[in-house]
Each structure stands twice: as structure tokens, then as C-alpha cells.
Structure 1
Amino acid sequence: MKESRVIRLLDSTVSRWLLFITLAITLVSIIGLKNMGLSSNYKIFFDDTDRDLQTLEQMETTYSTTDNIFIMVRSKNSDVYNVKTLNLVFALTEQLWTVDHVSRVDSLANFMFSQADGDDILIEEFIYDASQITTEYAQSIKLAASQEKDLVGNLVTANGMFTAINVTATLPGLDHKTETLALTSGVEALLANMQRDYPEHEFATTGLVTMNSAFFKAAKSDFTVLIPIMIVFVLVAAGVILGSIGASLCILVVLLSSLLAALGLAGWLNINLSAPSISAPIIMFTVIVASSIHIISYVKRQLLEGSSQYNAILLSYQHNAKPIIVSHLTTIVGFLAMNSSDSPPFRDLGNIVAFGVIFSLLLSFTLLPAMLFKVKLSTSKSNMLNLFSNMDRFTHVLLKMKKPILYILVPFCFLISFLGFLNERNDDLIKYFNESVEFRKQSETVDKQFSGLYNIGYSLETTSKDGIFSIKYLKFIEQFDSWLIDQPEVIVTTSPLHRMKQLNRLMNGDDASYYRLADNATMATQHFLLYEMSLPFGRDINDMVSFDKSAMKLTARLHNSSSVAMIDFEIKVKKWLDKNKPDYITYSYSSPSLIFSHIGQSNIISLLKGAFIAFIVISIALSIVFRSVYIGLLTLIPNLLPVGMAFGFWYCIEGQISMGLAGVSAMAIGIIVDDTVHFLYQYINGLKRGLSPQQSIQFTFERTMGAIVISSILLMIGFLLLATSSFEKNAQMGLLTSVTIMLALLFDLIVLPVLAMKFIRTTPISSLQKNSRSTSYEIS
């Protein structure tokens, strides 16, 4: 009896050493879980060397931090200028100062109101004591607030129906997750108390800190909810499909070992999980279970045909070894292609899944056979595995429909695929979360009245200290501000400009005609110094003026915008600045929403480039495996067309590709090529036996297609489970990948057999033939 290398490897003392070494590597990797954590900072989406992030951080160094929680308040019964609402705003403003890491609170209650009193200027908060709040005083605040350009649009709406409190935070950065959660939970607790004490009011929150918290909560929810569901699903599905609890437990051990080792290895490499990469375990579960199904389903088939369990296991590995190795390697290539991403979490996702598939490959040839030799497998018949036991009728239909499939169906599929190129590259920061997430719902509510997350800050720098008080400089800022206000994307602008004009008016007897910039730089400087000296602790203007007064920041607050709209606005403003600014003024600009727009666009392109490279590498690999460039090129049709059609389908229902979806092409090609390899390997094996193409198709369906269909269904269900994620990027990725796998399965059932019968009628000279002499364990 001549045995293949795989058989000798499985049935020897070498296998025990390999098992020991593999388990040792796995256990050492698992220990790395102690270093694993969940990230909560939006900046993880960017490399430290990212120029956009560096610009933002430079602006944060020049001006005070922009990390904030923006709280909108509405009275259900009237406008906000009533005793009850003003008491609420005052009380909430006072209490927010006590929350961990809060460095500033701005509201209608503590707004610094300036007024002239004879030769004196009074600058004080609207409300400094709750006893002030009467119906008459509330109306005086209403009159005064309506004239304050720094208030209207920023902290109160023009109609007075909504007001807001902006909480600025300074996080130490020692433990960003803990600090963020401490801040958000503190604010949430205060709002819960306010909701109880003031039931006639409504609250909504948004801001960078709440967005960071939402990223963490989405990742934690997926990790703690979807993964346990996936484990139960794998156990139940494997048990039903294979008709054996022992077999399903073997699969589960391989799955959990691969998963924990991959996450542990990521921990050793200081890779933290985040909202995008938290989907890695789900993807690993779905990908790894597919290969185990191929092995165990063949064992079950041999048991039903009378083989001993020992021989059935050896036969299964001889039958499946090469296609499983190739399919693992192509899957690894597909996910490693995500390293082309410009965004670290998507690289982490690809690498963690690749780690898991590597461990799956090692454990599938060491731990899995060892367990199968020890576990008593049921010999009961599983109807699921006999779906394709008699394919005479189906192959007859394929032969009859061969021409329509080749000349009508395939061109039609190409046509649908071309629709995929019409998808617009676009993203929306708020829509990173689905509509069930409170952050998204409340952010969209806030945006209807104020500008929440979407803004761009423009730092306009001079070459000298106190340069912002130059009248020429201030005139330009005024011109720029007026132009911005006229743009349809802009809700409101914020800068010291209004305050400087107001101070000039107050210094001139509160004469309305003096509501303009001072006539000279000395006067402007004195006015501004007077204002600065009157500000209480925590109310400075470092968020708008640099320390040495050489630069000023003007912020345009925008409606919720897509990445395309944000970038269009950025380009429009840049053109205006380049055309109109004086030569001595330089500028820079940034904001979290803007840099997300940039990374969204660049990441789509980089991931698509990575997918193209994966296509090339996998095609070359298949050409080498089958020792035929012809077959390698032929495999592009069943591998590429399903991906193209899936994106064509997406164009019909959505029309836009976000940065998460761009990674589907690389991932999907690595997954769906598995079934192509299994199919063609067995089809060519049939031809080597002397079977005709038609007989070889029937042989392939009977021996392999059942496992292909079952594994594809498991993959689809797994990715559909991912589609329930609250993180919209993961959900869309799960949906589109499941559609791709479904289309690939249909191709494998209908198109691939016809292509094989038409274009592969003889066996290629390949390394596969070397094993044709070892027929002791083959079923004829």
C-alpha cells in the first residue's frame, strides 16, 4: 500500500511532534490576550504620520482642545426663555463643571454679556445666581440674546425654541477609554437626573467625546453579543449538518483555538480591537468552519460507505489536503491585501483574520485529525451531506443549457458587474453607526437645529506677535467671515470678530454706528486686552486665538455632510483663500469631520488597489497549483464576476461605496476562491481517472459540491450575522460579502461546470498527477 505524504504525516510520530509544536505556539500566542484591549479614540483611524492628523494636532496645540460633548435642550411647552428652562440650564451648567475631565462649560446661563454703563463697561454672565431668574428677567435675556451673534446659531436657535450647552474636555490621555467613559457616563447621569426633575424637557447629545464613546460601545456590543451567538450557531449548524455532536465539538475546538491565538498574537503585536476590527472573530468563525466542513463531511461519507473511521480520516485528508491548503493560502492573501488600507483598523482587521486562518491551517492538519482519531463519530446518515448524491438530472440540464449559459448568462453577468463602477465613493461620519444607535439618532436631531460634528476650523496666521490686531488683517478676517456666511453649507461661524466689534461699540457710548472694527491696531489691542482681563477662570479665548496673538481661528459650522460634500466645500474655500488672502497671511485648516472625509476617500482607493493585487497574486498562485496559466486565467471568471455583480447589486440599492465596503473585494476573492479550488481540483482529478468532462462534473458534484454548498451557506449566514452589527461599516461589509458568496455559489453550481466542460477537456500537466499513482485511498 503506497501512501501519500499527507497520509504518512498524519500517521507517524512526526505528527505528534508537529501537534506539540503547534499547540505550544498556539498557547504562547493566546497568552498575548492579556495585552488586548478595545480602542475608544477616533484617532485610531489614522496613522501617526498621516498629514491630515498632524495638521489637526498642530491646530490643537496652537488652540485649546476641541474634544466636546454638545447637549441640546428643548422645552416641550414654550421657547427656552422661561423660568423653568433657565433654571434647568443654570443648574446643569453648574453641575457639569463637577464631571471628571471637564475643562470648560459654555451655555446661555454663563454667557459673558457685555453692556455699557456710562463710562464703564460691564461684562458678566447672564445668570450668576438662580435667584435672578424671574419671568421678567427671562424676557430681558431673550431680548439681549437675540442680538448676540456669538450666541445665535451656536448656543441658542434664532427662534428661541432650542438652547445648547457645550462641554469641553481635557483628557489626560493616560487611559483614553477609561477617561472617555468616565466623562460620558458622568454627563449621562446628570442628564438622567435632569430628565427626572424636568420631565417637560427633552435632551439630545453629540460631539467628539460621545462619538468616541459610541465607537467603543459598538465594538463592545459586537464582541459580547455577536461572538457568543456565532459560537452557538457553529455548534448547532455543524451538529445538524454533520449529524455528529463529536464532529461539531472538534470544529469548535479548532475555531476557538484559532480565534484566541489570533487575538493573542495581535495582543503581542500591540494591536487593539476597534469598531472595524471587532468583526475579525466573526469573519474567522465563518471562514474557518468552511474548511473543517470539507474535511469532516468527507469522513462522514466514507463512514457511510463502509470505511473504518481511521481509514475514512486518512482518505479525507488525501482527498482534501491540497485544496484546503490552497484555499487557506488564498484566503490569507485576500485578507493580507487589506494592509494596503490607509486606515489602521482595517489593516488590523485583515491581519487578525489572516492570523486566525494561519492557525486554522496549522490546527487543521495537527489538532483536528488528532481529535478525529480519538472521537467516536456517528455513522448516522445526514441528509444535508447527500444533497448532491445523484446529479444525473442536474448535469443533463447543464449540458442542455450550456450555450445559453455561456452566451447569454455570462455576458449578462459582465453587464451587471459594470454597474459596480458607477458606485460613488462616499462616506458620512454620522452614518458610521446604524439608525438604532443613540449617538446617530441624537446627532441627527441636533443637526436639525445646530451644527454638531461637522465643521472646519481655519487658522489664519500672521508673521508677528500681536499680528491679529492689524486692521488690514482684521478686515480680511471680516471679509472671509462674510463670504463663509453666504455659503449654503454653512450654518454659522465662530471667531472673536463679533466680540471685537461689540467692544468698539461699547467703548464709544454704546453707539450702534460703532459696531465695527476699531480704527487702528492700538485701539483693537486695548479693547481685546480689556475683554480678556474680564473673563473668569475657564472662559478664556484660547480656543480661537493663539497664545502670542499671531494667529486667529475662524470656524465654519456646517450641516451634516457626506465626505464628498465636505471635500467639495474644502476645495471651494481653499480656492477663495488662495485668491483673496494677503501675502503675509498663511493658513491651515482641519477638523475631525474633515480628516474622516479624507481618510474615507483615500481608504477606498487603497483598498481597491489592494484587492487588485490580491486578484493578481491569487491568479498566479492558482496557475502554479494547476501548472496551467490557462486554468489560472479561467478561474478569474468565477472569482471576479461574483464580486463585480455584488458591487453592481450595491449600486442598484445604495449607489455609494464607503471605506468599509471597499475591503469586501479583497476579502471576498480570498474566500470564494476556496470553492473554485475544491471544484476544479476534483474535476481535474476526475479527468485523470479517464472520465469524460460530463462524467467528471457528475463525479465532482457527488464528491465535493455538498460540502461546497454547505460551507457557502454557513459563510453567508455568518456574514449576515455580522450585518446586524450596530457599526454600520461592519454591517454593510457583512451584507455585501454574503451577497458575494451567494453569487459565487450560484456561479459554482451553474457557470463553473459549463466553463470547465467547455474549456478544460483534458488534464493539465501538474503536480496533481504525481499523486495519481497513490490510489490506495481514492474512491473510484
Structure 2
Amino acid sequence: MNKGIKTDWIIRSGASRWLLALVLLLTLASAAGLTRMGLASDYRVFFDDDDRDLQRLEQMLDTYSTTDNVFIMIEPGDGRIYNPRTLGLVHELTRALWRAPHVSRVDSLTNFPYSSADGDDILIEEFVYELDELTQQRIALIETAASGERDLVGNLLSADGRYTAINATIRLPGIDHKAEVLAVTGAVDGLIRSFEADYPDHRFSVTGVVEMNGAFFQAAKKDFVTLIPLMILFVLISAGLILRSPAAGGAIMVVVVLALLGSLGLAGWLGIQLSAPSVSAPIIMFTVIVASAIHILSYIQRQIRSGVSREEAVLQSYRRNLKPIAVSHITTIIGFLAMNFSDSPPFRDLGNIVALGVLFSLLLSLTVLPQLLLRIRFSSRATGANRLLDRMAPLSDWVIARRRPILWLMLPLSLGLAALSPQNQLDDDLIRYFDESQPFRADAERIDRHFSGIYTIDYSLSVPEQNGMFQPAFLQFLEQFEAWLRQQPEVFTTASPLHRIKDLNRLMNGGDQAFYHLPGDATTAAQQFLLYEMSLPFGRDVTHQVSFDKSSVKLTARLKNLSSVGLIAFEERVEDWLRQHRPQAIGIYHSSPAVIFSHIGQSNIVSLLEGASLAFVVISLTLMLVFRSPYIGLLSLIPNMLPVAAAFGFWYLVNGQISMGLAGVSAMAIGIIVDDTVHFLYQYVDGLKRGLSPEDSVRETFGKTMGGILISSLLLVVGFLLLSTSAFEKNAQMGMLTGMSIVLALIFDLILLPALVLTFMRRAPAVATLQFRDDKELNNAK
């Protein structure tokens, strides 16, 4: 029996109806899981629960009060903060922030607990308690005292006195994290808008961990509600322009929507939550599925234009395209499943959701799509795109005539470009996770020029015994360590209880500056610190820096904006210093959100590249099995792997950094671009099997297949360029680099691949799965 006609069961057999019902039932059952899916709003979603770095951060949060915060920088228009208007603004905004949801502490210039000596007593009072206190004399006192406060300068007051900040500490209950984060960010945004209206001569910038969580959610939400409608519009317009059939576009849309609902719903059943990286999954699915469907539809339209009936055109399209489409779906699934090597859950989720979508696409393309195509009307008129594709014969003749110069020119050029790919630096930058249009990034970069925003490292120093932090040896090492940190070029400032302990000793000795040093014994230090704690106003405890039993202290190094490479280099330099100077009795560990993101960024890049390497191997073996020819399988890797490697080489020239989002492009891209290579090789080998010369087989391939390859590739490029408009910078870069890889792959398929097969594969393999016949033979066999 003709192997080409075995595909007729998809359309004509009774089993096809049962399979159609089964696939629809599976899709709808999976889609029910959409009720379980939501958008994640916590930076912790980037880490596994058992991630060692995350566990260390949780340990830090358990020992000291939470470091989740909102940081607001205030910039007066005249560059002076010591005036009644600006100090009044700070005072009012400080009080307003206390009323915001989940705020446990607010620190600012106006409510700073200023300590002074009065004989044997210590007086602690806020700089501004009521607005009517802001006399010129009081303002002068605040300016003089604040400029000498180590706990203020660099933390809430810029060294030049032109900028001040308010830091609100947030303690989220953790019951509904997304709702809690949005409640905080919504309240803060409302306050900022209100104060901007009342103080138009002041500029407000906002950053902090809670704001970063909100920015992750907003970026994901923005992509979801803007890019998906754009993609739907893109599908309908492209179908109208290329196929001149809105009904054909509707058929594609049905498959796309069902695949989208099925994959997202099944992901919901599996407990997967969408996040900023994985929210791009629907856009990628749209692009891949549409590009695959175009191969079927463009062949049908070409047959109808030649006078074949609609039913016969659908039959012939499936006879010719079934195996290539099945193979391309499988290789795409392999590429995206390789993202499971990622150390970061959202990137694994992205790969799994898209893989599920492509699997649903394959099932729907074999059941739902053919039944829809049998019921819609195709135009027999040629569109502008059709006329362009009909003129591809001259290109095939040009490639045939110049195949050797093409090989001698393109292969060395491509290899030279690919050789640059290892020069890319594996690096990441937490702030640059967001597009420049995102307010969070703009504010964070502005704040970083005057303060340290979210780039900090917390060091916990501890001893086993209770009240051990007051031991002279412990405090002396803390003083030595902090002094060394402040000398490092990456450090903006430091924060610890050390300054307060030394200042208390000064105050207890009549305010004499000569006594600004560590107390001579642990008892004195403990008593002075206890007196200070008891004198603090409500909400101003020291648990953010000192453990409850006084056995450990937190020293915070506030850093300038660093990439992951720079932060890890600083971290390692500190570790080297500690190995040389740390007393054995003192235990030290460190963590912060910036630290754990730097680690996951580096490890995720390596793990994704390892997954891509495995994907290359598995896809190569798949192609060898499909063609039953190791030679064809290996030859096909050149137009598949080389464009991706060349794209990374080109990326080195334009950017030079591979972030954790871009590391997954290699596996994704090869899984996608194999589609066109498989279609070309299937048609070419089929021509050889039917006795055509290599040149005639190339001409026939250009006439029958290259049109679909060109259209599908262009649709993929446009789809990924849409992704490059994402508010999440990692998704945008992923879209740009994948689109670049597909463009290079298209050039290879149009020019280099024909030259390769004409030079190195002039005979059909001895054994092949391909037994296709030309259209006339198929009609006769029917």
C-alpha cells in the first residue's frame, strides 16, 4: 500500500472522529486547570524551595527583622533639603507611610532618634516631632547634627545634603503574597501621586524589594494583556495577506487558542504559576504553531490554484507534510524541554508550558485542523506574497550555478562569526531585568547614583553565648571588618550597631568626643546599649541589626549598582579577607536578594547551556532516526547549529553579555529552526528517490517547499520581534536573539543548505523512510 496514502485516515476514517472527540475532551479537561493558575509576584519564585542561597536568606530573615522595604528618594528642586518646605514634606510623608498596609517601621531624616547627653542622662528625641517645631534655629540644629550621623549619611541622607530618603520596612503576612504586595505598592503609588501634586517642585523616586516584586508582577501583567492581543491581530492580518482567507486565519486561531488553553490549563493542574519569564510562553506558542500551520495551508492554497478540489488539496497537503510537521513538532518539544536543566523554576516553567502547547498543537493539527480546512473556502487568486514566492525559481538557479562560491564564502564567514560566541560574558544585572521604560528601573538607577538601592549584602556575625555581641574581642573584629568594607570601591556605605555603641560610650561620658570608642568591658557595653533600647520611641527597636538574645549582629554593606559578575567578585574578595582575619570563635554567613540573584543568574546560565548541548545531541539523533541516515542527520546540523552559534557571535558584537534569559535561546532556537530544514530535506530526498537529478530536485524543492519555509520563517521572526517589546528585559532580549537566529537560519536554508546538498548529498540514501510520490501519482493511486 502507498505509504503516502496512509495519512488519509486523518480525514476520512471513522477513527478520526473518535480521535477528534478524544483530543477535544483532553483539551477541555486540561483547560479547566486555568482556574488554578495565577501571576506570581514574589522574587522568590526564581528559586527552588531547597535552594541553598534562598535558605540562607530565610535564615537571615528569621534572625533579624525583615528587610523587605520600600525606599523613597526625595529631590528638592532647589537642591536644598534643610528648609521648612522639604522637611515638612518628609515629616508628612513619614507619618503617611506608617498608615500604609503591612508597614512595620519607617525611617527618615525627620523621625531619626537623635541622641544627646544631659549630664549623666541620655536624651533621645526625633529631629521633628511636630511641624511647628521647624524654626530656623531647629533647622540649623538638624543640619549640623544630621551631617555628622553615621546612621544617616549614605543611608537616608546624601553626603552632599541635596537628597534625602525614607525607608519603609514591610512585614507581609504571607497569606496572599500577590494581594499583599499590590496593596503596599498601590498605597505607596497613591501617596507619591498625592505628594507630587502638593509638592510639584520636588521629585520622588521609589525602589526597594517590595517595589521590585511589584515590578515583576506588573511586567508580567503588561506582557499578558498587550502582547497576546497583538499576536492574535498578527495572526489574522498575516493569514489575510498571505492566504487571502480570513477563514483560514480563523482555523489557525482555533488551533492556537485550543493549544494555549490546553497547555496553560494543564500547567495549572501541575501547580505552575505564570511569572515574568514564563508569561512569554503564550506568545512563543502562538508564533511556533502559526509557522507550522502555514506549511499545511500554503500547500493547500497552491494545489487549489492549480485546479485541485478542496478535499483533495487537504489530503495531498497532509500526505506531503505530515511527517515533516510531526518531526518539527518533536524537535521543538525537545528544544523547550531542555530548559528543564535550568536552575530557576520560571525558565523551566517557560520550557514546559511551550512544550505542552506544541504537543497540543500536534494533536490538534492532526484532528481539529483538517476538519476545519475541509469546511472553509480558499481563494484561488494569487496574493502579492504568492507572486513573490512564484518567482523563487531564479533564486534556485542562482544557488545551483554558484554553489561552490557560496560554500567558500558563507561557511568561513559563519564559522568566524560563531567563533566569537564564546567571547560573550556570562553576566546578569538585577535592575536590568526590566525594560528602560519601566518606572522601577528608571527610579532604581537614579537612586543608585546617590544611595544604595537594592544592592546590599548582609553579614551576620555571631557567637554561641547570649549577650556575646558585647564581648570586646567580638566588637573589635566587627570594627575591623566594617572599616575594611568601607575602604572597598564597590561599597557605598555600611550599617551596623557599631557606631551606636561607640556613640553611647561618648554620651555616657558627658558627650566628650575623646570617648567615641568601644567600651572597655562587655558589662558596660551591655548596660549602655540596654539603656539606649529602653529610651527608643515606639517602632524604633534594633531587631533589624541585633538578634533577640544579643548573640549576633548584622553588618550591611550597601553597594553601588553591580552586575552579577562584579557582585560575586566582591563577595569572593570579602571571603578571602575573612578567611585570613576572622577569629575562630565568630561565625559568619551572608546573604541578600542581590546576592542570591547573582548566584542563580550565573548557575542558570551554565545549566541552560548544558541543557542546550544535550538538546543538540538528542535532536541530532532524532534526525538520524527519521532519515535513517547518520550522514543526513549530521549534515543537517550545519544549517541548524551554525545559525544559532553565529547569532550568539553577532550578539557579542552588539551587546557582549549573555544573561540567564538568553542562555536558553540556543535550545529553543534549534528546536524551532529544525522545522524548515526538515521540510527542505524531505522534499529534496524525495526528489532523488523519484529519480530526479540533484539540481532538478533543488528546483522542485524551491517550487514546492521553499515558499512555506520563507513564510513560516518570516512569521516566526515577526512573532519573536513582538516578544522583543516585552517590559521584562530578559524576554525582550530572548525575542531579539531568537529572531536573529531564525533570520540567519532562513538565509542558510535559502542559500547554504541547497549548496551543501548539491555538493555533499547528490544521491539518495540507501535506506530512507521517504516513499513520497509526485502529486500526479498520488491522484492515480487514489
- In the superposition, the TM-score normalised over structure 2's length comes to 0.98
State whether structure 2 residue 48 is matched by structure 1 residue 47.
Answer: yes
Q: State the identity %.
A: 58
SS for the counterpart of 2:419 is helix
> Does the Cα contact within 8 Å between 1:399 and 1:754 map onto a contact in 2?
yes
> Which digits, 9 at most, give the CA deviation of each residue in 1:476-510, with x for residues without a partner?
00000100000010010000000000000011111
Separation (CA, whole Å) in 1 of partners of 2:701 and 2:114:
82
Note the 1:562-641 alignment, pairs <5 A. 562-641=563-642
Paired position in structure 2 for 1:688 = 689
Q: Which residue of 2 aligns with 1:271?
A: 272
Q: Does 1:707 align with 2:705?
A: no
1:280 counterpart letter in structure 2: A
Q: Over aligned residues, Cα RMSD in angstroms? A: 1.4
> Counterparts of 1:384 and 1:769 in 2: how far apart (Å)?
30
The answer on whether the counterparts of 1:104 and 1:168 sit within 8 Å (CA) in structure 2 is yes
Structure 2: gaps spanning 5 or more residues: none
| Amino acid of the structure 2 residue aligned with 1:306 | G
Distance (whole Å) between structure 2 residues aligned to residue 111 and residue 699 of structure 1:
81
After superposition, what is the alpha-carbon deviation per residue over 1:417-440, rounded to whole angstroms, capped at 9, x for unaligned?
010110000110000011111000
In 2, the alpha carbon distance for the partners of 1:621 and 1:765 equals 18
Deviations 1:85-133 (A, max 9, x none): 1111111111111011001000011111110011211011111111111
Aligned residue in 2 for 1:330: 331
1:73, distance to aligned residue in structure 2 (A): 0.7
Deviation of the 1:773 alpha carbon: 10
d(CA) in 2 for partners of 1:661, 1:384: 33
Match of 1:458 in 2: 459
Please say if residues 627 and 765 of structure 1, whose CA atoms lie closer than 8 Å, have aligned partners that are also in contact: no
Please report how far the alpha carbon of residue 760 of structure 1 lies from its aligned counterpart in structure 2 after TM superposition. Answer: 1.2
Provide the C-alpha distance between the structure 2 equivalents of 1:571 and 1:686, rounded to a whole number of angstroms.
61
Secondary structure at 1:635 match in 2: helix
1:371 aligns with 372
- 1:736 Cα offset (Å): 0.5
- Deviation of the 1:399 alpha carbon: 2.5
Residue number in structure 1 paired with 2:674: 673
1:347 counterpart residue number: 348
* One-letter amino acid matched to 1:148: E
1:771 deviates by 5.0
User: Which amino acid letter does the alignment assign opposite residue 143 of structure 2?
Assistant: K
What is the rounded CA distance, in whole Å, between the counterparts of 1:778 and 1:727 in structure 2? 52
What is the distance in 2 between the residues matched to 1:8 and 1:72?
68
Distance in 2 between residues matched to 1:409 and 1:779, nearest whole Å: 43
Question: Match for residue 305 of structure 2?
Answer: 304
For 2:389 and 2:759, how far apart are their aligned partners in 1? Answer: 22
Letter in 2 for 1:22: V
C-alpha separation between the residues in 2 aligned to 1:768 and 1:381? 34
Residue matched to 2:31: 30
SS in 1 for 2:520: coil
Partner of 1:67: 68
SS at match of 1:89: helix
**Unpaired stretches in structure 1, ≥5 consecutive residues:** none
Quote the offset at 1:388 in angstroms.
3.7
Counterpart code for 1:667: M
Contact kept, 8 Å, 2:251 with 2:372, in 1: the verdict is: yes
Deviations 1:261-285 (A, max 9, x none): 1111111111111110111011001
Distance, in Å, in 1 between the alignment partners of 2:344 and 2:780 is 49
Extract structure 1 runs of 4+ deviating beyond 6 A: none
Query: 1:251 corresponds to which residue?
Result: 252
Question: 1:100 aligned to 2:111?
Answer: no
**Match of 1:211?**
212
Following the alignment from structure 2 to structure 1, what is the Cα–Cα distance between the partners of residues 188 and 49? Answer: 30
Contact 1:625 1:766 (8 Å CA) reproduced: no
In the alignment, the residues of structure 2 paired with residue 257 and residue 438 of structure 1 have an alpha-carbon distance, to the nearest angstrom, of: 35
1:375 to partner: Cα distance: 1.7
> In structure 1, how many angstroms separate the alpha carbons of the residues matched to 2:99 and 2:682?
68
Residues 312-711 of structure 1: matches in 2 within 5 Å?
312-711=313-712
Contact 1:386 1:706 in 2 (8 A): no
SS at match of 1:547: coil
TM alignment of 1:98-177, pairs within 5 A: 98-177=99-178
Structure 2 counterpart of 1:205, which letter?
A: V
Structure 2 CA distance, aligned partners of 1:508 and 1:19? 88
Secondary structure class of the residue paired with 2:489: coil
Letter in 2 for 1:150: D
- Corresponding residue SS for 1:584: coil
Alpha-carbon contact 1:4-1:771 (below 8 Å) kept: no
Q: Distance in 2 between matches of 1:195 and 1:173?
A: 31
d(CA) in 2 for partners of 1:351 and 1:387?
37
Per mean C-alpha deviation after superposition, the further-off stretch among 188-197 and 502-511 is 188-197
Do the aligned partners of 2:316 and 2:775 also contact (CA within 8 Å) in 1? Answer: no
Q: How far does the alpha carbon of each residue in 1:500-554 deviate from its partner, in whole angstroms, 9 at most, with x for none? A: 0000001111110000000000000001111111122221111111111111110
Distance 1:773 1:289, change over 3 A: closer
> Aligned partners of 1:459, 1:769: CA distance in 2, in Å?
67
Partners of 1:262 and 1:207 in 2: CA distance: 34
Displacement, 1:158?
1.7
Give the letter for the 1:120 counterpart: D
Deviation at 1:146, TM superposition (A): 1.1
CA separation of 1:726 and 1:194: change in aligned 2, threshold 3 A: same
Displacement of 1:192 in angstroms is 1.3
- Report Cα offsets for 1:686-705 as digits up to 9, x if no partner: 11110000000000000000
Q: CA deviation at 1:772?
A: 5.2
Quote the Cα distance in structure 2 between the aligned partners of 1:9 and 1:80.
76
TM-fit CA distance, 1:765: 3.6
Deviations 1:378-430 (CA, angstroms, capped at 9, x unpaired) = 22223423434354432332123222222232011101101011000011000
Which amino acid letter does the alignment assign opposite residue 598 of structure 2? Answer: S
1:778–1:735 distance in 2 versus 1, CA, 3 Å: farther
The 3 A distance-change label for structure 1 pair 196 and 769 is closer
In the alignment, what sits opposite 2:6? 5
Q: Which amino acid aligns with 2:223?
A: D
Aligned residue for 1:155, secondary structure, equals: coil
Query: Helix, strand or coil for the counterpart of 1:583?
Result: coil
Mapped to 1, the partners of 2:401 and 2:243 lie a distance apart of 33
Residue 78 of structure 1, CA deviation? 4.0
- Partner residue, 2:717: 716
Look up the SS of the partner of 2:769 in the other structure.
Answer: helix
- Alignment partner of 1:80: what SS? coil
CA contact (8 A) 1:238 1:248 kept: yes
Distance in 2 between residues matched to 1:772 and 1:185, nearest whole Å? 65
What amino acid does structure 2 have at the position aligned with 1:473?
F
What letter matches 1:661 in structure 2?
L
Whether the aligned pair in 2 keeps the contact of 1:4 and 1:774 (CA below 8 Å) is no
State the secondary structure of the residue aligned to 2:250: helix
CA–CA distance in structure 2, aligned partners of residues 379 and 154 of structure 1:
71
CA distance in 2, matches of 1:779, 1:488: 80
**SS class of match (1:99):** coil
Report deviation, 1:776.
Answer: 4.2
CA contact (8 A) 1:103 1:538 kept: yes
The yes-or-no answer on 1:282 pairing with 2:283 is: yes
